[in-house]
Amino acid sequence: MTPEAVSAPPSLISPQAGPKIQASPEHHGPSVSEQRNLMKESFTADAVPAGRAIRTPSSAEGLPRAATVNPCRLCAPLGASIAFRGVRGGVPILHGAQGCATYIRRYLISHFREPIDIGSSSFGESAVVFGGESKLFEAISNITAKYNPEVIGVATTCLAETIGDDPRIYLASRRKAHPEAPPVIPVSTASYRSGHIVGFQDTLKALVEAFSPGGIASEGPVAEITHESAGILIPMLSPADLRYLKSVYSEFGLKPILAPDYSETLDGEAWGEYHSLPEGGTGAEEFRALALLPEILELGEYPPGSESGGTVLQSHGVKRRVLPLPIGVEAADSFTAYLSELSGREIPGILLSRRGRLIDSYADAHKYLYGVRIAVICNEHLTPALIRFCAELGMNPVLAASGSPKNVLRRSLMANPPHEIHNGIEILDNSDFLQVEEALDRLKPDLVFSSSKPYRICRDRNIPLIRVDFPIHDRFGAQRILNLGYSGTQRLLDTITNTILEKRQNDSPVGFSYQ
Partner 1 sequence: MNSSASAILESRIGQIHEKGASPFKLECDKNSAAGSVSQRACVFCGSRVVLYPIADALHLIHGPIGCAAYTWDIRGSLSSGEELHRKSFSTDLRELDVVYGGEKKLERSLDQLIDQYSPKAAFVYATCIIGAIGDDVDAVCGKMTAIKGIPVIPVHSEGFKGTKKDGYKAACTALEKLVGTGDISGIPPAGINILGEFNLAGEAWIIRDYYERMGVKVVSILTGDGRVEDVSKAHGAALNVVQCSGSLTPLAQEMEKKYGIPFLRVSYFGIEDCAAALYDVADWFVGNAGRIGLDSGHAEMIRQRARNLVADETARTWPKIRQYADRLKGKKAGLYVGGAFKTFSLLKILRSLGVSVELAGSQTGNEDDYKRLEEMGDEGMVIVDDSNPLELSHFIKEKDIDLFIGGVKERPIAYKIGVGFCDHNHERKIALAGFEGVVNFAREISASALSPVWRFMPRRSAGGNK
Q: Which residues, 426 to 455, sit near partner 1 by CB under 8 A?
A: 453
Pairing verdict, β 425-428 and 90-95 = unpaired
Do the beta carbons of residue 62 and residue 235 sit within 8 Å? no
The size of the interface with partner 1 (CB under 8 A), counted in residues, is 74
Q: Which is nearer to partner 1, 37 or 142 (CB)?
A: 142
- Specify the 3-state DSSP secondary structure of 448: strand
Q: Which of residues 382-421 bind partner 1 (CB under 8 A)?
A: none
355 binds partner 1 (CB under 8 A): no
Instruction: List the one residue from 2, 14, 35, 191 that touches partner 1 (CB under 8 A).
Output: 191
**Which of 40, 51, 65, 504 touches partner 1 (CB under 8 A)?**
65
Q: Which of 55, 193, 316, 442 binds partner 1 (CB under 8 A)?
A: 193
Q: Which is nearer to partner 1, 75 or 322 (CB)?
A: 75
With CB under 8 A as the contact rule, the residue among 43, 84, 123, 211 that binds partner 1 is 123
Mask: binding to partner 1, 238-267, rule CB under 8 A, as x and -? ------------------------------
31 counts as binding partner 1 under rule CB under 8 A: no
Q: Which of 240, 296, 294, 234 lies closest to 266, judged by CA?
A: 240
User: In this complex, which beta carbon is closest to partner 1, that of residue 278 or of residue 283?
Assistant: 278
User: What minimum distance in Å lies between the beta carbon of 422 and partner 1?
Assistant: 32
**Comparison of 132 and 485: residue with beta carbon closer to partner 1:** 132
Q: Which of 138, 106, 101 is nearest to 119 (CA)?
A: 101
Q: How far apart are CA 139 and CA 135, in angstroms?
A: 6
Cα 145 to the center of its chain, rounded Å: 33
| 139 in contact with partner 1 (CB under 8 A) | yes
Query: In sequence order, which residues have a C-beta less than 8 Å from that of residue 67 and are 6 or more positions away?
Result: none
Query: Measured between alpha carbons, how far is residue 95 from residues 92, 129, 141, 168, 195 in Å?
Result: 10, 15, 14, 12, 17
Instruction: Give me the least distance between CB of 144 and partner 1, in Å please.
Output: 8
Site for partner 1 contains 122 (CB under 8 A): yes
Show contacts with partner 1 in window 199-238 (CB under 8 A). Answer: none
Could you tell me which residues come within 8 angstroms of residue 251 by beta carbon, excluding any fewer than 6 positions away? 348, 350, 351
182, 167, 155: which is closest to 80 by C-alpha?
155
Closer of 186 and 268 to partner 1 (Cβ):
268
When the beta carbons of 388 and 467 are compared against partner 1, the nearer one is: 467
Tell me, what DSSP letter sits at residue 362? H
Site for partner 1 in 66-105 (CB under 8 A): 66-71, 73-75, 77-78, 93, 96-105
- Select 104 or 208, whichever has its Cβ closest to partner 1: 104
- Considering only residues 143 to 162 of the shown chain, the ones binding partner 1 according to CB under 8 A are 143, 145-147, 157-159, 162
End-to-end Cα separation, the chain, in angstroms: 43
The DSSP bridge partners found for residue 120 are 94
The closest alpha carbon to 153, from 239, 62, 76, belongs to 76
Q: By CB under 8 A, name the one of 9, 183, 195, 418 that touches partner 1.
A: 195
CA 260-166-186 angle, to 5 degrees, is: 15
